[in-house]
Structure 1
Amino acid sequence: MMDQQTVDTIKRLMEWEAARTALPEGFPPLPDMPAGRYTSQEYYDLEQQYIWKKSWLFAAHLDEVPEPGSFMQWDNAGQPLIIVHGMDGVVRAFYNTCRHRGAPVVTVQSGRSPRLMCGYHNWTYKTDGELVGIPESQDFGSNFDKSCRSLIGVRCEMYGKLIFVNLDDNAISLRDWMGPLWDEWAEFGFDRMRLAARQSFDLKCNWKVAMEANMEVYHVPFIHAETVAPLVDHKRNVNTIFPGGHARMIAPPPKNTNREHVRAIDNPPEWQSVETVGELGRTTTQSYTMFPNWVSPLSNFFIPPLIFWPTSLNTTRLELITMALDWGDGPVPDLWTEPDDSIEGGGGRRMNAIIQEDTQFGEAIQKSMESDGFKSVPLSYQEARIYSFHQTCDKMIGLDRVPPHLAVEQVIGQDWVWPNDPRVAQMERQVETA
């Protein structure tokens, strides 16, 4: 949770940002990013190998595997996995691959069972992955060792009720991966939030095109003129770059608003409030990027992440998730989608106005990027979170592995990464000389 000094500093920086007439002193000019980062199969393949197979990725909420024996399939990272709530109470992840002939152990999307049994030859596993049953085992010979044939596990750790996986056995812990987010998010009640909604939509653009629409407020006055713009003062927005590609933005409501506690997504009054959320979470739009694919505003009413999954070079699956405190018999909260009666059979959902605005140009942007007219991407100071994100992409891949024609220059140094912030000293100097 933020201490009062940090809150006060951010509030002062809001006014300093609104008043500045030039780049902060010493902030590096951002070189153009190569076009191929969005259109090159070569770069996409590097991402698949070195980012998606080595990052901590949100997989599930505990509500999806709530009881011992519960399991669910998960393949958003391109590998067939099962998330299992063990009979011993431990949540684990395994490759959904039988150790006999490679058949999937689980073929239904979710379920509950004290054992996991492959339907091909009925090899049977405990919920901790141990192989315990082989039909006609005598035919495998006396030297066959079942203890070496357990399901192959995948790193699996939790933050509150959120389940994360990492395909790299040698990865750092989730806590180390999250860095300062681990403690800063404590106020938002991740350990108490229920899963209310989880919807998926397919987009026809590169995953970074889709995600970056949610990583800056430069576009807010233009794309969101009637929705977000009246609720967010983009001039007073304060961005903070964290280690590891993570970032935070805090944007207050416009000063001329006649409503209190206004945010980009306003709070339904019937929802329970998380009493531990601090001043900024209650009164501003406080949003985070967690590398590589999580973007979410956080408040005293909800945790609603947008998760971006590449499905090919130029297609993306967008997950829209809402988590909230127990809503009892009231309406189930869903911040990002609304009923769509036009879908045959009824019960369908469509993206709400804000998400439609953010995704409406994705396919056209991708086609335009693939033309000969797209050469490079110049970014502004307001878009520095995007540039920092790309720097981290190249670091994850390995600076020596990224071809020079696809690489970004590593110009945002540690002096601009939390806990460092040269803006604070500049702001204080200006106050002293005023």
Structure 2
Amino acid sequence: MLDLVTDQRPENDFARMDFERERKDPPEGFPKLPDIPGKRYVDPEFLRLEKEEMWDKAWLYAGHVDQLPNKGSWFLTRNTGSPVIVVRTLKDEIKAYYNTCQHRGAPLVKEESGEDRGFVCGYHGWSYTLDGKLTAVRDKRDFVDLDFSCRSLVPVRCELLGSLIFLNQDEDAQPLMEHIGPMAQQLEQFQLEKLRLVDSRSYDVDCNVKVLLDAFLEVYHLKSIHVDTVDRFLDHRAMIATLWPNGHSRMATPNRRDDWVDPGTKGMPEIPTVNDFPAKNNVSYQIYPNFVMPAAPTGIPILQFWPMGPKKSRVVSSWLAPDYDPENPHPLWPTRLSNWERILYEDLQFAPQIQESLESPGFKGMPLNYQERRIYHWHEELDRRIGLNRVPGDARVEQVLEPWVQKD
């Protein structure tokens, strides 16, 4: 059975679920996971390294192309840690720039979104094209040898995953599609380029961001937190996890009944190319570090978890769907969104109290089990991005899961 578990190719997925449901112990050869040190959630020095070496250099979801309906449309995002303008240029390209005038650093835009043919700084009137080029300055005669070509807006790496816009502040980052590796091929079936934006909401929570991320990387908590909701139809004991390079992963949890269909989605338009496995199971993809996507044929919620401080996080919950008409939405959408929010609140309800406990002398570290291996995989990747030799010894995670990472 070891070969079945380590060979995580899609054609084995149903058989792997059967194995997980019937096993009596973790698979042969699976390592004992060392405790995750508690310092990683509260230590200021570790959190500084985490921000500088991981968050500031990661591919992070910024928004959906529907937020840029016309040439000249733009929106402002701050979730990445810096204010960034994302814009559809007059050439119909999607680009991103820091919201920082190259004169004295004033913001170019002050609203959350808008539509313009260029950007004009409200402080001293410096003007830029939507391509970021400086075109005019007030009282040019008073500048000595001002080279406009050296004063363009500072760009931010911006790439698309279908209709999803991702940013990366690291100029040398690996291209997004290469970075997500084997996941890219699996995502093709969802036709992300055709999905419309249905809804987006934010929730601020008083806890370290990893408290929330951990909860969405496992289903071990279903029988405690989701007793009256998803635990009624999901079989957490048969969950399978696929670990990919660069910290990415996938989790798939079967329904308790093979013929179960969510009554809240009957009759809704479906993505026609979704294959049998995600159509009949709860499949959740995670793009490292903070993007979670439990995809389904009739609609896809996408979640991002943002660090807003050592003890404060933001969850952004959005929905994508095929054939969505904002002027005439399907009548099931209000109920579906309400049910989803109820489940989300169940996941968020204990987070502030967990944070309080993490800061107490009673928390030394986390002993994870086989079902929680995606959490350990996430932390291993964090240390690799910081640099194994830079992580303080008493906060470091031992690298033990590499043999269980699927390379293709």
- TM tier, shorter chain? over 0.9
Q: Which amino acid aligns with 1:327?
A: Y
The answer to whether the 8 A contact 1:271-1:327 is kept is: no
Q: Secondary structure at the match of 2:156?
A: strand
From 393, 407, 415, give the equivalent of 2:382: 393
The answer to whether the 8 A contact 1:204-1:362 is kept is: yes
From 52, 77, 81, give the equivalent of 1:78: 81
Q: Residues 281-320 of structure 1: matches in 2 within 5 Å?
A: 281-320=278-317
The answer to whether the 8 A contact 1:277-1:300 is kept is: yes
Tell me which residue corresponds to 1:341. none
Query: What per-residue deviation string (whole Å, max 9, x for no partner) do you get for residues 186-225 of structure 1?
Result: 1011001111111001001110101111110111112111
Q: Secondary structure at the match of 1:396?
A: helix
Query: What per-residue deviation string (whole Å, max 9, x for no partner) do you get for residues 256-290 of structure 1?
Result: x7x5335xxx6522421000000012111011111
Distance 1:149 1:190 in 2: 36
- Once the two structures are TM-superposed, the CA of residue 334 in structure 1 deviates from its matched residue by 6.2
The answer to whether the 8 A contact 1:115-1:125 is kept is: yes
Q: Which amino acid aligns with 1:210?
A: L
- Once the two structures are TM-superposed, the CA of residue 409 in structure 1 deviates from its matched residue by 0.5
| TM-score under structure 2 length normalisation | 0.94
Tell me which residue corresponds to 2:162. 160
Q: Residues 28-427 of structure 1: matches in 2 within 5 Å?
A: 28-141=31-144, 143-255=145-257, 259-262=259-262, 267-328=264-325, 329-331=328-330, 333=333, 337-338=337-338, 352-413=341-402, 415-419=403-407
| TM-score under structure 1 length normalisation | 0.89
Q: Which amino acid aligns with 1:138?
A: R
Tell me which residue corresponds to 1:343. none
Seen in structure 2, the aligned counterparts of structure 1 residues 336 and 77 have a Cα distance that, compared at 3 Å, is farther
Cα RMSD of the aligned pairs, angstroms, is: 1.7
Q: Secondary structure at the match of 2:96?
A: strand
- Once the two structures are TM-superposed, the CA of residue 352 in structure 1 deviates from its matched residue by 2.2
- Once the two structures are TM-superposed, the CA of residue 356 in structure 1 deviates from its matched residue by 1.2
Q: Residues 1-16 of structure 1: matches in 2 within 5 Å?
A: 6-16=9-19
Query: What per-residue deviation string (whole Å, max 9, x for no partner) do you get for residues 393-433 of structure 1?
Result: 111111111100111101112x211148xxxxxxxxxxxxx
The answer to whether the 8 A contact 1:212-1:386 is kept is: yes
- Once the two structures are TM-superposed, the CA of residue 336 in structure 1 deviates from its matched residue by 7.5
Q: Secondary structure at the match of 1:304?
A: strand
- Once the two structures are TM-superposed, the CA of residue 335 in structure 1 deviates from its matched residue by 8.0
- Long gaps (5+) in structure 2: 1-7
Seen in structure 2, the aligned counterparts of structure 1 residues 77 and 250 have a Cα distance that, compared at 3 Å, is same
Seen in structure 2, the aligned counterparts of structure 1 residues 243 and 187 have a Cα distance that, compared at 3 Å, is same
Q: Secondary structure at the match of 1:195?
A: strand
The answer to whether the 8 A contact 2:264-2:335 is kept is: no
- Once the two structures are TM-superposed, the CA of residue 128 in structure 1 deviates from its matched residue by 0.5
- Long gaps (5+) in structure 1: 339-349, 421-434
How many aligned positions are there? 398
Q: Which amino acid aligns with 1:177?
A: H
Q: Secondary structure at the match of 2:80?
A: coil
Seen in structure 2, the aligned counterparts of structure 1 residues 334 and 39 have a Cα distance that, compared at 3 Å, is farther
Using the TM superposition, name which of 67-76 and 132-141 deviates more.
Answer: 132-141
Distance 1:395 1:283 in 2: 35
Q: Secondary structure at the match of 2:305?
A: strand
Q: Secondary structure at the match of 2:45?
A: helix
Q: Which amino acid aligns with 2:305?
A: F
Q: Which has the higher helix share?
A: 2
